[in-house]
Amino acid sequence: MRQSNEKKRDFFWLSYSDLMTSLFFVMFVLFILVFSTQNNLIKEIEELKKINDTLSISKERLKKIEEIEKTVNNIDKKYFHYDAINKKHILNISFLFPKGKHDITKIIPNKQADLLKAGKAIKELILKYPEEKNIKYLIVVEGQASNDGWRGNDDLSYHRAQSLVNFWKVNKIGLDKLKNCEIIIAGSGVKGIPRDKPDRPPANQRFLITIIPKIGE
C-alpha cells in the first residue's frame, strides 16, 4: 500500500513537472510574440510618423507651387495674356516683319518701348521670390512665323526669338543676370501652338513665353 502511494506521488510530481514545463514554454512563446509585436508596432509608428512628415512637407511645397503658379499666370496683363490650354503666355504686341527678316530692332511700327516693359514684367515676376533659394525659373522664349511660304520659317522664328532675348540683354533688362533664371530660345515656325486663323501675315508673327517655376531640389 505504501509502495502504491509512493508511485502515485511520483506520478503526480512528474505530471506536475511536465505541466510546468509546458506552461513555461507557452509563456516563453507568448513573451516572444508580444515582444516581436511591440517592436513591429514601434517600427510601424515610426514609419507612419515619417510618412506624415513627408506629407506635411509635400503639402507645404504644393501650397508654394500653387502660389507661385498663380503669380506666374497673373503676370502683367497689359503685355501678356495667358493661354491656359497650352500653358503659355502670349506677348500682346503685334509685329509685321519684312518677309524673311528677324531683326526685332528694325520692325515697323516701332514696338521697342513695349518690348522693354514686357521684359521688365518678367523680371519683376522672378524677383517676387528672391529669398527662396529653392525656386528657379525656366523661361522659354518661342518665336513663331506666318505661313507665308518662306522655306526657312523654322530657322527664322528661332532667330526672331534670339533677337528678342538679345534686345533685352543689350537694354540691360537683366534676365540673363538672374541666378535663379534659365532662358531657352526656341522657334516653332508655322508648326507651334497655339496658332491664329487665318494664318497669313501678320498673323502669328509673335512670341510665346513659357514660364516654368522649378521648386525644390
**Among 125, 141, 10, residue whose Cα is nearest residue 69:** 125
**Among 110, 84, 210, 126, residue whose Cα is nearest residue 167:** 110
- Element (DSSP H or E) covering residue 48: helix 2-73
**Phi and psi at residue 144, in whole multiples of 5°?**
-125, 170
Model confidence band, residue 49 (pLDDT cutoffs 50, 70, 90)? confident
Q: What is the mean pLDDT of residues 121-143?
A: 84
Q: What is the CA radius of gyration of the chain?
A: 37
Handedness of CA 18, 24, 30, 36 (dihedral sign): negative
Q: Is 132 helix (H, G, I), strand (E, B) or coil?
A: coil
Summarised one tens digit per residue, pLDDT across range 62-82 is 777 777 777 777 788 888 888
Query: Full-prediction pTM beyond 0.75?
Result: no
- Residue 101 CB burial class (10 angstroms; 0-12, 13-18, ≥19): middle
Helix, strand, coil % in the chain, rounded to nearest 5: 50, 15, 35
Alpha carbons 173 and 175: distance in angstroms, whole number:
6
Asked whether 96 and 106 are in contact (CB, 8 A), the reply is: no
Summarised one tens digit per residue, pLDDT across range 153-208 is 999 999 999 999 999 999 999 898 888 889 999 999 888 888 888 877 778 888 88
**Among 209, 203, 188, residue whose Cα is nearest residue 146:** 203
Q: What is the mean pLDDT of residues 2-27?
A: 60
- Element (DSSP H or E) covering residue 24: helix 2-73
Residue 12 corresponds to which amino acid?
A: F
